[in-house]
Chains A and B, each alone.
Chain A
């Protein structure tokens, strides 16, 4: 590696238009570049430094080939330099093949658990291009289309409150309903005196409920 190493990541990153991927010039003519063609717009640029593909202005891909893995720890230095130089979310694609399989657990531990980056194994460049297409699609989609980012709609609390009150020993559904009609919330129920409780349930149960709620260790 030469002068490129001076700037590990291109200054100001790159602003990637929606549905585009900006790739390092070195990938021209590669299987990955071919696989992407026709599916998403690919722009190849010089001077991306350590980054192989920019997916958006927040995330990028670093590619580790089978040969990189077998060659030794050079790729680790590259990843550490990237981490120190950039706040971009780095997704590391690793070629996991029969030959590189043995290195995978250690590599995963290093990338995910030590560096806190994301790692995705691929069998070859063809799989990598398929995966990159999906990553780009995901980035350009509206946030609400991701089921894991969707705001959950607020649920009705009443059934849960009823269930919680029924966890009090001696209280079934009927008594729970009676208690909640009288004390309205769990908070109020917890602060009810034995006398208050007796107005709703029998004396024995009232004492049992009070004992449960105010029981100290």
Chain B
């Protein structure tokens, strides 16, 4: 599934979580060098890759999904993604064989099959990869499919100066993706403008669903009650 030259995907952009620098370095270099995708590494806070305005991709090794000890961790992570994104794709990547180590034959478990069944029923897409190179290729393919559906990432991914503070402000809104915050940052003239916008205007500007925009709207208008704050009041 090799790609036919970097130039072709010059317009594709994928956001990568900074933690992938250590665990998926080959993916990042492959996306850049082989597929010519614009890769923006940033702290995505609980999300491995963002390939479009609506889709997040979670990369998991097969051994992690075979072992039910990771159940809570995996479930929490996916639920978190579900609270931020309309579409989720899980890439199940074959474990790396370290030099000098013979490939362990991983036993397929009932738990693993059950997890796959739960993903499918919830509409979570699953892709299987044999190595990081192949994962990179799948990410590029996903981004291309999303581009055809007009939901590609087109917003400038770098934020400087005063806008940085605004980005941090938008990122603190619950269940908002890094990309939605970026869109708000570039789309709204000021934080005040954003706070005075209708749900529909928020949806258009942040490129989120109307439902998500309504959630943001409610948050901005929600009254603060000091009494229910779980922490102690400052002296």
Residues of A within 8 A of B (CB): 91, 101, 104-106, 108-109, 112-113, 118-121, 123, 127, 130-131, 133-135, 137-139, 146-149, 152, 155-164, 166-169, 173-174, 177, 180-181, 184-187, 190-191, 212-217
A109 in contact with B108 (CB, 8 Å): no
Question: Can you list 10 A-B pairs, Cβ within 8 angstroms, ordered by A?
Answer: A113-B141, A119-B126, A130-B108, A133-B113, A167-B172, A186-B222, A191-B195, A212-B165, A215-B191, A216-B189
Stretch from B9-17, B22-30, B38-46, B117-125 that touches the partner: B117-125
How many positions in chain B have a CB within 8 Å of any CB in the partner chain? 59
Given contacts A113-B142, A120-B116, A215-B166, contact A160 B226 (CB under 8 A): no
CA distance A48 to B51 in the complex (A): 38
**Do A177 and B126 have beta carbons less than 8 Å apart?**
no
How distant is the Cα of A139 from the Cα of B165 in the complex, in angstroms? Answer: 47
Q: Complex formed: what's the CA distance from A173 to B114 in Å?
A: 45
Closest 10 CB pairs of A and B: A148-B122, A138-B117, A190-B195, A134-B113, A167-B169, A180-B224, A164-B172, A190-B192, A134-B117, A216-B189
- CB-CB < 8 A to A152: which residues of B? 79, 83
A137 and B122 contact, Cβ closer than 8 Å, known pairs A152-B83, A163-B172, A185-B223: no
- A135 in contact with B120 (CB, 8 Å): yes
Q: What is the bound-complex CA distance between A82 and B110, given in angstroms?
A: 29
Q: Residues of B contacting A213 with CB < 8 Å?
A: 190-192, 195
- Bound-state CA distance A23–B185 (Å) is 54
- Pairwise interchain contact B191-A212, C-beta atoms closer than 8 A: yes
Nearest CB of chain A from residue B188's CB, rounded to whole Å = 9
Q: Which of A101, A146, A177 contacts B121 (CB 8 A)?
A: A146
Task: Assess A112 versus B125: contact at CB under 8 Å? Given A106-B1, A127-B108.
Answer: yes
Q: Determine which residue in A109, A163, A167, A174 has the highest number of CB atoms from chain B within 10 A of its CB, and name it.
A: A167
Of the listed stretches B96-104, B150-158, B201-209, B227-235, name the one at the interface; the rest are far from the partner chain: B227-235
A113-B145, A167-B165 known; A157-B219 Cβ under 8 A: yes
Instruction: State whether A215 and B79 are in contact (beta carbons under 8 Å apart), knowing that A130-B113, A158-B228, A185-B224 are contacts in the complex.
Output: no
- The chain B residue sitting closest to A106, CB to CB, is B1
Once the chains are docked, how many angstroms separate the CA of A169 from the CA of B108? Answer: 52
Distance of A106 Cα from B1 Cα, bound (Å): 7
CA distance A134 to B113 in the complex (A): 6
What residues on A are CB-neighbors of B229 within 8 Å? 158-159, 162
